[in-house]
Structure 1
Amino acid sequence: MLHQLPKRGIWTDQPASRWEDALVSGNGSHGVMVFGDPVQDTIIGNHCRLYLPQGNSYDLPDMAPYLEEMRAIIRENGYQQAISYYYQKATELGYQGLTMSDPSHPGFHLHVETDHQNYSDYKRSINYETGELVVSYKVKEKSYYRKTFVSQDCNQIIHSLSPGSYKIKLEDYQHPKMSQISQVDQKIIHSHFDYRYSDGGYDVMIEVEAEGIKPLANEIGFELNSANPVLIRMEILPYGHKSKRSIIRNKINLSNEYSRLFTKHAAIHKEMFQRVELKLARDEERQQSIWSLVKKAKERGQITPVLLEKMYDAGRYMYICSAGELTPNLQGIWTGTFEPAWSGDFTFDTNVELSIAAALSSNLLEGLEGYFRLIKELMPGFRENAQKYYGARGVMAAIHASNSGKHVHWNQEWPLHLWTCGAGWLAHWYYQFYRFTGDKLFLQNEALPFLEEIVLFYEDFLVEDPDGTYRFTPSYSAENGAADNATQDIAVAKEVLTNLSEAYQILGYPAEKIKKCQEMKNKLPTYQVNEEGALKEWLTPEKGENYNHRHFSHLYPVFQSREFNDETNPEMWQAARTAFNKRLEAWLLNEEGDTSSTHGRMHSALCATQFHMPELLDDIFRLLIDHHCFYSSLMMSHYNEQQIFNVDGNGALPQVVHEMLVDFSNGRLTLLGALPASIAKGEMKGVHLPNQMIVNKLTWNLETKHVELQIVSKIDQEIKMYLPLYPEVELNQQTIMLQRNKPVSFQINL
C-alpha cells in the first residue's frame, strides 16, 4: 500500500525529536502524540482529566474585611501601596503567595523498538479530515507502516504496526508525586497510578494483539514477531470517569480489525471536520510537505493561499481533537512533560477564549458542551473567590484553573485577583450559543443563571461615585496594570447586563427585572478618549497608556462584544481605531515589542477584521511564518522560534478567516471585510453566523471582480449588506429580507 499523502493535513520527511513536534490526534477525551521514529518510537497517551495534584493549599484568605481599607488606600495613596497592604494581610492569614494550578501531565509513554536503523523513504503525516496519523518507511525495499487514531466511536487510542519484530515497553514514570504499579497479563499491560496529594489517580490499559507475543523479562511490555499486523488498543481511565467502553478481549481478526475500527471512527470525525470548508488551493499544492510550503511562503514574503488553508484546517482539527469532555487547555489535549509552561492549564484572561473563538461559526457545538461542563465544575471555586476576596455574592473567575476554580494565582507583582471581569467574558459564549442556535432551553437553564450570578457579584462589588456613577475599584487591565475603571471591566459589565436584559425579554420575565438591568447599565462609566484621540485603557485621568503590550483588553467592545461600530458610534469607533494603531506601532509591528505572543497577534487579527485592515492581516500571517510560530503538525507556539506549545492561536485562526470573509453584527452582514489581496480567490462553505444564519456558499475572485453568496436564515429577519472595501458596490447598505429556511443567492460585481 502507498502512503496516501493527505490533501487536508500535513506531512514531513523527518521523525519528531521532541514531543512538541509529534504527530497529534484526539477525540475530546483522549489525546495521542506519535514521534514516528522507526527505530525507537514514542507514543504519548493524554487525557483531558489528568492534572497532577501538587499538594499546594487552595485555601483562600478571607480578605473581605480588608476591602474598604484597601479602597481607602487606593484613593489616598494609589495602587502600589494598596496592593502591598493587601498582600501583607493575605500572608498574615496564611496565603502562600502566587500558586500555579495543578499541571496537566501525560498519561503514559509507550516505546516501540525495532532494528530498522537503515531505513529510507521516510514520511509521517496527519490527516486532519480523518484524525489518522501515518508513518511509513522502507527497510531493504520492504515497506513498513504505523497508523494511529483516537476513536470517536469506542474512546480508545488505536495503533497499528506492520508485520514484523518489535519490543513494546511502557515507561515507568517514577514521579515523586504519584505511584505507579504495573503488571503484564498475557497480552494486556495494566498500570495503576495513585496521586500522592489527592485521592485521585488513573489506570492505563494497553492491549496488544499480535502473534509470537512474549512478556519482557525485566521491563513492563512485550517482545513479538508477528506475520500479521500488530494492533495496540490503549485507554486511560481517570478515577470516577465512566469510559464508553473498556478493553475488549474477544478474539479478533488482525488482518482487518484496524480498518473496521477506523471506518467507524472516521465517519464521525469526518462529518465534524466537513461541516465547514475553505478552498484556496489545488490538490497538487496541498500534497507538498509542510516545510516546503512554509519555505515558499517565506520566499514570497507573505502567506500563500495553500498555507493559510492548512492553518485554517489545523485550527479546526485542534478543536475537534481537544474539545468535548472539557475544553482545550493551553496545550489543547496534549503534553509530553510533567512541567508544562503555566501548568498547561485553563487560562481565562485571553487564552481559553481564543481557543474556542471559532467553535460556533464552525458549527462544532459538541466542543462547547465541554466548555460549559468545565465552567460548571469550577463554579464552587468561582463563588468562593467572590465571597472571600470581595464579600460578594455571585461569581468571580480565577485567571488560572485546573483541578480547582479557586483563585490563588496572584501576588504583588501580578495582582490578578483585581481582575474581576473574567466570569463575564466567559459568559459571552453562553449568550452567543443562544444567538447562533436559538435554543431557548439553553438560554433559560444555562445562560441566564450564569449571567444572574455575575450580576449579583456586580451588585455587591461596585461602589457609587457622588454623581451615582459606578466605580470599579480595585480594577486591573489584564497583565498590563492596575487603576480604577479598567475599560474592559466596563465593557464586559455592559455586555453582561445587555445580554441578561435581552434574555429576560425573550423568556418573558417580569418588566422590573429588565428595568433593573437597564438602571445598572446607565450607571456604568462612559468610555474616555485621551489627548491623542485614543480610547483609554483605564477610565481615570491619572493613569496613562502602556501601548507596548501583548493584551488588547480595552478593545473588547470591538473584537468580542461588538458593542459599537462606525455607524452606531463613529466617535468611539475612531477612538478605538486610534488606540489599536498605537498598539500596532508600539507592540505588534515593533521588533522591540515587550514580548512576542501568538495570542496578542490573534487579537490583533480579530481587531483587523473589524477595522477592515486586510494588509495588516497579511502582516500578522507573515509574522507567524517569519518567526517560526508553529510545529510540523501546525500546532502553534506561544513565543517566536517554536517556544512553548500553545493552541490558542490555532483556535482563533479559523475565526479570523471567517470574519475576514463574512461577518455579522449590529444588523449588518459584512462581506470580504478584510480580505487580503494575497488570497485573491476561493470558496467557503458552511460558516454559521449569529441570528441563526448559515453561509451555504461564498465564492470570490478578485481578478474577475466577482462574488457569489448563498445564505439561509432559520428565522425571518432583515439585514443590511456591507462591503467596506468596495464602497461602490450596488448592494452596499441595502436592506435584505431573509425568510425562514429559504436560501437567498446573490451575484455581486466588485
Structure 2
Amino acid sequence: MLKTRDIVPAKGAWNKSHAERWEEALVSGNGNQGVMVFGNPQKETIIGNHSRLYLPTGTGNQLVNMAPYLDEFRQLIQTEGYEKAIRIFYDKAKDLGYQGLQMSDPFHPGFHLYIESPIQKAEQYMRSVDFETGQIAVRFVDENNIYHRRKTFVSRADDVIVHSIENNQSDVSCILNVEDYHHTLITHERSMETDLIQLHNAYEKGPGGYQVAIQIHAPQGKVSVRDNKVFIENAEHLVLVMKITPFSSVRGNEIEIAKDVSSSSYKTLLEKHIALHKEMFTRVNLNLSTEKERMRCTEELIEEAKQTNVIPLALLEKMYDAGRYMYMCSAGELSPNLQGIWTGTFSPAWSGDFTFDTNVQLSIASALSSNLTEGLHGLFRLMKELMPGFKDNASYYYGCRGIMVPAHASNSGRHFHWNDEWPLHLWTCGAGWLGHWYYQYYLYTGDKQFLANETIPYLKECVLFYEDFLIEDTDGTYRFTPSYSAENGCGDNATQDIAVAKEVLTNLINCYKELNIESSETKKWEKMLIKLPNYKINQEGAIQEWAINGKEENYNHRHFSHLYSIFQSREFTAESEPALWNASEVALNKRLEAWLRSDDADTSSTHGRMHAALCATQFNLKNLVYEILQMMVINDSIFPSMMTSHYNNHQVFNVDGNGAIPQVINEMLVDGVPGKITLLRALPDQVSQGAISGVLLPKQIKVEKLAWNITAGTIQIDVISSIEQEVELEVPLFSHVDVVSATGCSPSLMEEHKWKLKLYANQTAQLEIHF
C-alpha cells in the first residue's frame, strides 16, 4: 500500500485524480521549456511547450500611417466626441489598408506525446507536483497489485524535458505515439525510430519553425516501430529525454542532445537540475501551517475552504508557493505570457500572448520581493526584441519619437489589436508602466550598471514619446488626448496616463541623481512634471478615472487603472496627500460595491481581484485582502494544480493570479518603499501567527526572518541591508508598539507605532517588538 507521507512533497500539491483537459494538467518548466502532464494511467498525455513558440499567422505585417491625421482626430474629439472621432479614424485606417482588429500570433504547444499502457485498473492513485524540485510524479497500484511510478521534470542544467516510467516488477510495456499537427499554417514531418522520435514543424507564414527530439531509453526491452508508433515490451524501465528547438532558417539543423545528457540516468539528470531549482525556490519560505496539514491533497483543502468559508493555512501556503513556482518555471528566456509557458491548444484565449494592459504586470508582480530578480532578465530581453515595433507604433499612430507598447504582442511589438469598439490604440501608458520594473530592479539590487545601461535608455524612450505626444491647454497644462483607461472607455486625461507619466519622469530624474549625472535634461523633465494635469475628485469623493469635467464614472469594471498610484507607483500616502489618499480609497470602495461584490459585475476577473487586493494592502484593509483570496478559492479560480484561471469555474488558464498572490501576501506581511518598512499592514485575523523568510525590499534590504504571534503580541524581525541607511519601521494595525530589544541597529522612537532604525551595511539587525 502507498504511504502518503513518503511520496507527498513538503512544498507542492497533489491530487487524487488525473486531468481530463490540458488546463488541469500538472506543470513544470525551466524558463525556456515547459511540460504539462495529465497523469492518466491508461493513456498518458504529455504536452511539451517552449517560450518562443508563437505561430505566425501572416497578419499584422505592416502598419498604416495614421500620424498625418492626428490633428484632425484630436479636433474631432473636441467637437464631436470620442465615439464619432474613433469611428471616423477607424474608417480612415481601413481606407489606408488596415485589416481591422487582429490578434497577435498565438502561443502554441510543441508536441503532444501519448503513452498507452496495458493498465486495466488503477487504485491508490496520486499525482503530485513538487514546487521545491520541479518534479511531477504519478503513482498508483494496478489490478495485479504492481506499484507504478512515473516522474517528469524540465532540467535547468541541461534544458531537456525528462520523463521516466518504472514499476516494482522492472517490467515496463507501453506504446508511444505523437500527435501529427494538421494545421494549415504548419508543415509537419515525423520520423519514428526505435531509439528516437523526431518532429519537424515549419511555419507556412514563417520564417522558421521548430523541431522536437524524443530520445528513447528502454533497457532490456524489445522496441519496435509499427503503424508509426513505438512499441516497448518488457523493459527494465523507460526514460524519455525530450527537447524542443525553434529555428529561424528555412529548414533548421537536426537536434543534437548532448551525449552526456542522453546517456545519463534519470536520477543523475534530476540531481543536477534540483541543485539549481531548489536553491531558487528555497530563497523564500512562508510558514503558516503544520507538516500534517501540508500533506493533505489539494482537492480536500479547496473543498474545506468552500464548506467553512475559511482558507486552510496549508492552502494559503500553497497559493503562495505556487505563485513563486509558476514564475520560476516561466521566466527565463522571456517573461511569462498569459499562460506562463504552457498551452495545449493552437487557439488560446487572447492568443495566450503578452497582454500588457495589466496581465504581464501582474505575472511579474512578485519577482523582486520574492527574491527571483533574475527572472526579470527575460522581461528586459523581451522588451529589446519588441522595441522596433514599439517605435513603429509611436511613429505611425502619433508621429512621435520614443516608444508605444501595444496591449497585445508576441512575435512583433507592432500594434494591430484595435477597432472602433476596442480602441486600444489610444492606450499609450503601457511603455511607462513596464518602465516601473526597470527602476525597481535597480532599487532592489543596487545594480548601477543596469541603471545606466538599461533603465535610463528605456525610460528616455518613454519620455521622448511624451515630449512629442503631449499638447498644452491654454494655461500651459499638458493634456493627454486621445486617452483611454484600459478597456473602460475614452476621455481626455485618463488618470493612469497621468500617474504613469509622473512615475516615469520622477524615476528618470532619480536615475540621474543616483549616478550623479549633471544634465540640462533633468531641468526639462522637472518642468514636464509640473505641467502634468492634477487628478480630480468627483462629488462622491472618489478620485476620477479621467481628470476632466463631465466624464461619468463607470464603477462596474474589472480594471483598476485609476488606482495606479496606490497599487503600483506608490506616488502618495495618507501623510503626503491626504485628500488624494482618501479619494482613492473611496474609489476603491465604489469598485468593490459595483464590481467585486456585485452579482451584476461585468465579468469575474482574476486580474481585477489582484489589483483590488494590492490596493487593500496599502489601505491596511486586512479583511478585504482575505476576502479576495477566499474568492479565488471558493469561486474555482484555482485549479487543483494550483495554477489560476482568468474567470470563475476554472475558465481560461491564466497565470496573472499566480504571479500576484505572493506579492499580495508579502505586502500584507512585510512591505517596503525606500526609507520605510511596514509590518503586518494587512494581516488577516485568520493568520494570527506564522513566519516568513527571504523576502526582499527596496534599497537592498533582505528580511532574513519575520515571525509574529498576535495572541502573544510579539513580532520578531531580522533584516540585513547591503548599504548603511536609515528607515522608518511601522506597524499600522496596532496603536502602540515597543521595540523591546534590538541588536545590529540603532532604533529610536518616532511615534507610538513607528520607529526609526539605522541599519549598518551587511550587518543583521535583530528586533523584538511587542504590541
Length-normalised TM-score, structure 2: 0.95
Q: Distance in 2 between matches of 1:635 and 1:364?
A: 18
* Displacement after TM superposition at 1:253 (Å): 7.0
In the alignment, what sits opposite 2:770? 749
In the alignment, what sits opposite 2:754? 733
Q: Distance in 1 between matches of 2:408 and 2:309?
A: 37
Write the mapping of 1:459-608 to structure 2, written as runs, cut at 5 A.
Answer: 459-608=467-616
Secondary structure of the equivalent of 2:105? coil
In the alignment, what sits opposite 1:622? 630
Secondary structure of the equivalent of 1:734? strand
Write the mapping of 1:379-394 to structure 2, written as runs, cut at 5 A.
Answer: 379-394=387-402
In the alignment, what sits opposite 2:41? 38
Q: Deviations over 1:603-649 (max 9, x none)?
A: 00000000000000111011111111111111000000000000000
Contact 2:216-2:240 within 8 A present in 1 as well: yes
Q: Which runs of 5+ in 2 are unaligned?
A: 740-752
Deviates more, 1:729-738 or 1:322-331: 729-738
In the alignment, what sits opposite 1:151? 155
Residue 19 of structure 1: which of 17, 22, 27 is its match?
22
Secondary structure of the equivalent of 1:28? coil
Q: Distance in 1 between matches of 2:217 and 2:194?
A: 10
Identity %: 53
In the alignment, residue 247 of structure 1 is paired with which amino acid? Answer: I
* Displacement after TM superposition at 1:176 (Å): 1.1
Deviates more, 1:573-582 or 1:56-65: 56-65
In the alignment, residue 154 of structure 1 is paired with which amino acid? Answer: D
Q: Distance in 2 between matches of 1:672 and 1:488?
A: 28
Aligned pair 1:649/2:649, yes or no? no
Write the mapping of 1:180-219 to structure 2, written as runs, cut at 5 A.
Answer: 180-210=188-218, 211-219=220-228
Residue 316 of structure 1: which of 315, 321, 324 is its match?
324
* Displacement after TM superposition at 1:534 (Å): 0.6
Q: Distance in 1 between matches of 2:537 and 2:254?
A: 55
Contact 2:64-2:98 within 8 A present in 1 as well: yes
In the alignment, residue 212 of structure 1 is paired with which amino acid? Answer: G
* Displacement after TM superposition at 1:58 (Å): 2.8
Contact 2:330-2:340 within 8 A present in 1 as well: yes
Secondary structure of the equivalent of 1:521? helix
Write the mapping of 1:658-669 to structure 2, written as runs, cut at 5 A.
Answer: 658-665=666-673, 667-669=675-677
In the alignment, what sits opposite 2:747? none
In the alignment, what sits opposite 2:113? 110
In the alignment, residue 569 of structure 2 is paired with which amino acid? Answer: S
Aligned pair 1:94/2:97, yes or no? yes
Q: Distance in 2 between matches of 1:185 and 1:302?
A: 54
Q: Distance in 2 between matches of 1:249 and 1:225?
A: 25
* Displacement after TM superposition at 1:248 (Å): 3.6
* Displacement after TM superposition at 1:382 (Å): 0.2
Q: Distance in 1 between matches of 2:562 and 2:122?
A: 55
Q: Deviations over 1:261-314 (max 9, x none)?
A: 101101110000001110011111001110111111122212221111000000
Aligned residues: 747
Q: Which runs of 5+ in 1 are unaligned?
A: none
Write the mapping of 1:166-245 to structure 2, written as runs, cut at 5 A.
Answer: 166-210=174-218, 211-219=220-228, 221-240=229-248
Contact 2:261-2:269 within 8 A present in 1 as well: no
In the alignment, what sits opposite 2:679? 671
Residue 119 of structure 1: which of 122, 132, 135 is its match?
122
In the alignment, what sits opposite 2:165? 161
Q: Deviations over 1:63-100 (max 9, x none)?
A: 00000000001111110111011101100000001000
Residue 134 of structure 2: which of 107, 131, 135 is its match?
131
Q: Distance in 1 between matches of 2:483 and 2:253?
A: 43
In the alignment, what sits opposite 2:350? 342
* Displacement after TM superposition at 1:251 (Å): 10
In the alignment, what sits opposite 2:419? 411
Residue 268 of structure 1: which of 254, 276, 280 is its match?
276
Secondary structure of the equivalent of 1:376? helix
Q: Distance in 1 between matches of 2:78 and 2:179?
A: 58
Q: Deviations over 1:24-78 (max 9, x none)?
A: 0000000000111110110000000000111213311100000000000111111
Q: Distance in 2 between matches of 1:227 and 1:489?
A: 63
Secondary structure of the equivalent of 1:99? coil
Q: Distance in 1 between matches of 2:500 and 2:235?
A: 63
* Displacement after TM superposition at 1:186 (Å): 3.8
Q: Distance in 1 between matches of 2:647 and 2:628?
A: 14
In the alignment, what sits opposite 2:305? 297
Q: Distance in 2 between matches of 1:243 and 1:5?
A: 41
Q: Deviations over 1:207-255 (max 9, x none)?
A: 0000334333222x3111244221100000000599999324579778x
Length-normalised TM-score, structure 1: 0.98
Contact 1:504-1:513 within 8 A present in 2 as well: no
Residue 462 of structure 2: which of 454, 468, 487 is its match?
454
Secondary structure of the equivalent of 1:85? helix
Contact 2:367-2:373 within 8 A present in 1 as well: yes
In the alignment, what sits opposite 1:49? 52
* Displacement after TM superposition at 1:570 (Å): 1.1
* Displacement after TM superposition at 1:319 (Å): 0.3
Q: Distance in 2 between matches of 1:400 and 1:465?
A: 32
Q: Distance in 2 between matches of 1:252 and 1:88?
A: 58
Aligned pair 1:355/2:358, yes or no? no
In the alignment, what sits opposite 1:246? 256
Alpha-carbon RMSD: 1.6
Q: Distance in 2 between matches of 1:201 and 1:604?
A: 41
Q: Distance in 2 between matches of 1:181 and 1:172?
A: 8
Secondary structure of the equivalent of 1:216? strand
Q: Distance in 2 between matches of 1:309 and 1:275?
A: 15
Contact 2:335-2:382 within 8 A present in 1 as well: yes
Secondary structure of the equivalent of 1:234? strand
In the alignment, residue 121 of structure 2 is paired with which amino acid? Answer: N
Secondary structure of the equivalent of 2:7? coil
Q: Deviations over 1:376-396 (max 9, x none)?
A: 000000000000000000000
In the alignment, residue 613 of structure 2 is paired with which amino acid? Answer: A
Aligned pair 1:4/2:13, yes or no? no
Q: 1:661 to 1:89 in 2, by over 3 A?
A: same
In the alignment, what sits opposite 1:65? 68
Residue 715 of structure 2: which of 707, 721, 730 is its match?
707
Q: Deviations over 1:551-603 (max 9, x none)?
A: 00010000000001111111110011111111111111112211100000000
Q: Distance in 1 between matches of 2:442 and 2:263?
A: 47
Contact 1:505-1:514 within 8 A present in 2 as well: no
Deviates more, 1:208-217 or 1:334-343: 208-217
